Amino acid sequence: GYIELIRGVPLITLLFMGHYVIPLVFPNTVDPPSALVRALIVITAFEAAYVAETVRGGLQSIPRGQYEAAQALGLVPWKVTRLVVLPQALRAVIPAIVGQFISLFKDTSLLSIIGFLELLQVAENVVSQPEFLGQRLHTVTFAFAALIYWAGSSTLSRASRRIEARLGVGDCR
């Protein structure tokens, strides 16, 4: 139910709920968490739901024979999961998990809506300073911000490809 609820609601809605609803849950005698902590809680809960669903799919992709072979060797159920099933499942879902983290990296721009200073907000603040007004720096500044997002995403993607190559993900055996 948790996964379906979280995945069914957009991140921006959850951020607004975290920003405005979490403080209402605390009694007047207790200080609610700071805005940053509330945003971290919401983003962690959001990403946890997506990563859990990805890992569940990886676990379901493991053939039944792997379980049976591990049990035939005398492994107890928790060792079957830890030593046989989980390593294979996580190896299979590396591309999906990295894709989810790239999406998270880009979704950080949503934090500006609830008042946090993030990359796009900094770019907007730079071009709105009196010294830069009228110099038409919007294009260059936002292109630079796009370059930073691209560089971060590209770096994560290349690291994922290196890990996949080292583990042989996608290789036919």
**Residue 135: is its pLDDT beyond 80?**
no
Mean pLDDT, rounded, of the chain: 87
pLDDT at position 155, please?
A: 92
pLDDT tens-place string over residues 44-92:
999 999 999 999 999 998 898 888 899 899 989 899 989 999 888 888 8
Secondary structure of the chain: what % helix, strand, coil (to 5)? 75, 0, 25
In the block, which residue shows the tokens 């370059």? 147
User: Please, what sign has the CA dihedral across residues 4, 24, 33, 149?
Assistant: positive
pLDDT tens-place string over residues 92-132:
898 899 999 999 988 888 888 887 878 878 888 887 887 77
User: Please, what sign has the CA dihedral across residues 144, 146, 149, 151?
Assistant: negative
pLDDT at position 115, please?
A: 77
